[in-house]
Amino acid sequence: MPSYDYDLFVIGGGSGGVRSARVAASLGKKVAIAEEYRYGGTCVIRGCVPKKLFVYASQFHEHFEDAAGFGWTVGESSFDWKKLIAAKDIEIARLEGLYKKGLAGAQAEILETRAELVDAHTIKLLKTGETVTAKTIVIATGGKPNPHAALPGHELCISSNEAFHLEELPKSILIAGGGYIAVEFANIFHGLGVETTLIYRGTEILSRFDEDLRRGLHEAMVAKGIRILCQDVMEKVAKDENGLVIQTMKGQTLNAGVVMLALGRDPYTQGLGLEKAGVAVNERGAIVVDDYSRTNVENIYALGDVTDRVQLTPVAIHEAMCFIETEYKNNPTKPDYDLIPTAVFSQPEIGTVGLSEEEAGKRYKELEVYRAQFRPLKATLSGRAEKMIMKLIVDAASRKVVGAHILGHDAGEMAQILGITLKAGCTKDDFDRTMALHPTAAEELVTMYAPTYRIRDGQRV
């Protein structure tokens, strides 16, 4: 048996990497983990967590406005971007510290360096130039924003990475993309008082979500004052004395202080030495893995965003836990991608689990769709025009709820709980037997007794 410096070497200190390293070390394995930037990875440093803090920050102006309807007089308010950034940075640094503490507590060796593969068992640590060996390697290097290198003037644009550290809040922003990151940032910037435009190639924002909710959110965003340009793309970005000038495919000329690209994320595999170790990637540069996150090289695993699977933090963590079961507990475990609850932290929020009406229509012969659209109680006194939408998609034959979709406040929180009910295989009758909790918005989910309409063979009847 060859001897190695480590039982496990993890490249990348993000959601998936830290979990793999910490748990393997806690099982008594000799583990090292390398991170080239900051521990916590995308989620903690420049993804989910700071984004959600920005979402909260951007909601206050509506809270102040709504307060008047409840008898409050709120004095003049103002917003300080630099204060928000400083407070966010303190919280992120605290979380980064917790990640490192967890690793250290489990006796994993924490390396602050870029690491690259030299061969299937050897890793080069770039900070010192030293090489080390490991029996097993986990690659969890995550993804990077697509820079849209083909766009003339792309170097003048920012990505979500820079959005977390802008020196000044711009007066106006143009965000390119229609995915959740683009939509969330459009709402954040608008909420902070920035004149915001979203430009997206597709016919409607947020492809793959339920169409009803996509439309509902689009309308709500436009009503707030966000400009949304669908079926158009930027063709050129240039700079003049007033800021950035953007030419679009449809011949429009737009001006913005900042242009942000949110056009998807690429797996971060460049320069990693994959070819030296013989690790195969697909045409997008994502590491190819089997059902157990194992690459084509027996002792090398890859998990999280660097593989072409579902790009979410809980998924990367789940894949890490499955790796631990497979490699160290003699219990080969495939990650389970069925019924992943997700949210879009837009304003209003989307929370969803299971199949959209369109997808369910393709899979099931007959569906019952239960749909409610209403003004939430809070919006009555505040006078806010916002509407909530709730939808349950039910397979008529088995009565199982196969999709649940919410547009409105706290939709993400509700989707997490709905995820349990769908995972447990609850039927519409289980929902009907559940007592309503009054007065809540969520009670609509258990009080929609008659189907709003049916879908038969993919057609609404």
Ligand X SMILES: Cc1cc2nc3c(=O)[nH]c(=O)nc-3n(C[C@H](O)[C@H](O)[C@H](O)COP(=O)(O)OP(=O)(O)OC[C@H]3O[C@@H](n4cnc5c(N)ncnc54)[C@H](O)[C@@H]3O)c2cc1C
Residue 405 annotated as catalytic: no
Give min distance, CB of 135 to ligand X, in A: 19
Among residues 142, 216, 361, 419, the one that binds ligand X under rule CB under 6 A: 142
**Phi and psi (nearest 5°) for 154?**
-60, -25
Amino acid at 390: M
203 vs 359: CA distance, rounded Å: 18
Binding flag, residue 122, ligand X (CB under 6 A): no
Contacts of 70 (CB under 8 A, 6+ apart): 381, 382
Could you tell me whether strands 172-176 and 258-261 are parallel, antiparallel, or unpaired per DSSP bridges?
Answer: parallel
Which residue, 143 or 177, has its beta carbon nearer to ligand X?
Answer: 143
Q: Where are the beta strands (DSSP E) in 282-387?
A: 300-302, 342-344, 350-354, 366-374
Which residue, 14 or 153, has its beta carbon nearer to ligand X?
Answer: 14
Binding flag, residue 158, ligand X (CB under 6 A): no
Binding flag, residue 141, ligand X (CB under 6 A): yes
Contacts of 37 (CB under 8 A, 6+ apart): 45
Which residue, 64 or 81, has its beta carbon nearer to ligand X?
Answer: 81
Among residues 6, 23, 47, 169, the one that binds ligand X under rule CB under 6 A: 47
Among residues 8, 9, 10, 11, the one that binds ligand X under rule CB under 6 A: 11
Binding flag, residue 191, ligand X (CB under 6 A): no
**Phi and psi (nearest 5°) for 114?**
-75, 145
Binding flag, residue 304, ligand X (CB under 6 A): yes
Binding flag, residue 216, ligand X (CB under 6 A): no
**Could you give the residue ranges of the DSSP H alpha helices within 151-277?**
160-163, 180-191, 211-224, 274-277
Among residues 210, 212, 305, 386, the one that binds ligand X under rule CB under 6 A: 305
Binding flag, residue 312, ligand X (CB under 6 A): yes
For the window 249-288, what string marks contact with ligand X as x by the rule CB under 6 A?
-------------------x---x----------------
Which residue, 14 or 361, has its beta carbon nearer to ligand X?
Answer: 14
Binding flag, residue 13, ligand X (CB under 6 A): yes
Q: In what order do the strands lie in the sheet with 195-200?
A: 227-230, 195-200, 172-176, 258-261
Binding flag, residue 179, ligand X (CB under 6 A): no
Binding flag, residue 138, ligand X (CB under 6 A): no
Binding flag, residue 17, ligand X (CB under 6 A): yes
Residues in contact with ligand X, total (CB under 6 A)?
A: 36
Binding flag, residue 7, ligand X (CB under 6 A): no
Exposed (0-12), middle (13-18) or buried (19+): which is 315, by Cβ within 10 Å? buried
Which residue, 305 or 444, has its beta carbon nearer to ligand X?
Answer: 305
Give min distance, CB of 174 to ligand X, in A: 17
191 vs 327: CA distance, rounded Å: 46
Residue with tokens 């507990």: 329
Amino acid at 63: H
Among residues 48, 120, 156, 166, the one that binds ligand X under rule CB under 6 A: 48
Helices (runs of H) and strands (runs of E) counted in the chain: 13, 23
SS3 11: strand
Which residues form the catalytic set? 438
- Where do contacts with ligand X occur on this chain (CB under 6 A)? 11-17, 34-37, 41-43, 47-48, 51, 114-116, 140-143, 160, 181, 268, 272, 304-306, 311-314, 316
